[in-house]
Amino acid sequence: MSGALLLNKTEIRRTVLQQRRVMSAANKKQAELQMLKFLQTWDVFMDAGTIHIFLSKTEEPDTRPIIELAWNSGKQIGVPCVLPDTPELFHSQLNSFNNLRSGALGVLEPSLEQRIALSPEIFDLVLVPGLAFDSQGGRLGYGRGYYDRFLDQTHAFRLALAFDFQLFETVPTESHDIPMDGILSEKGIHLCGDSQT
């Protein structure tokens, strides 16, 4: 875990984005393989019937192998879609990587005609993106609040997906920020807060 205790949100975002940019392809791939290995033997993942997961951007941990693992295990996958002019995410079932398009924020999502709505209540596990996390479950996202609004609507286990350098002693959070139940990095699965018991 990074030892930076008193960095503000701007400094943390800048630090993490820079570290992700300079991470070598080989190191990134190795970290992603480790994450997949931890996930495929984790009871919460194995027991989950429906999983919500983001379609990763280039510098984020690659979620496609996780989605393929879930499909091969007979699980249903939901992905987020950003709807223009609304603060809420739309959740669509994902059955293949075909017919994806770049959405409002440059993130891949199913094309409009391929979307099958899923309710937030259906998910057993949500894999959550972000820039920085701490051991208490604190999350620093990209600043738009989509995930906090979504996570407030589901009782699913909230698992952050991050490289180890994205883990800090503490990250600044606000009252509306929804904490993580666990963090998956290349070092393993770290349970947070009440989930540790």
Return the residue matching tokens 């990074």.
2
Whether the full predicted model's pTM is greater than 0.85, yes or no, is yes
Token pair belonging to 12: 């943390």
**CATH superfamily name and code, 9-196:** NagB/RpiA/CoA transferase-like (3.40.50.10420)
pLDDT at position 2 is 42
**Per-residue pLDDT for the chain (197 aa), expressed as one digit of tens each?**
444 444 688 888 899 999 999 999 999 999 999 999 999 999 999 999 999 999 999 999 999 999 999 999 999 999 999 988 888 899 999 999 998 999 878 889 999 899 999 999 999 999 999 999 999 999 998 877 889 899 999 999 999 999 999 999 889 888 778 999 999 999 999 999 765 54
pLDDT at position 196 is 56
Q: How far is CA 143 from CA 57, 131, 146, 174, in A?
A: 16, 10, 9, 12
CA dist 90 and 7 (Å) reads 33
CA dist 103 and 109 (Å) reads 6
Q: How far is CA 71 from CA 50, 76, 100, in A?
A: 10, 7, 17
pLDDT at position 42 is 97
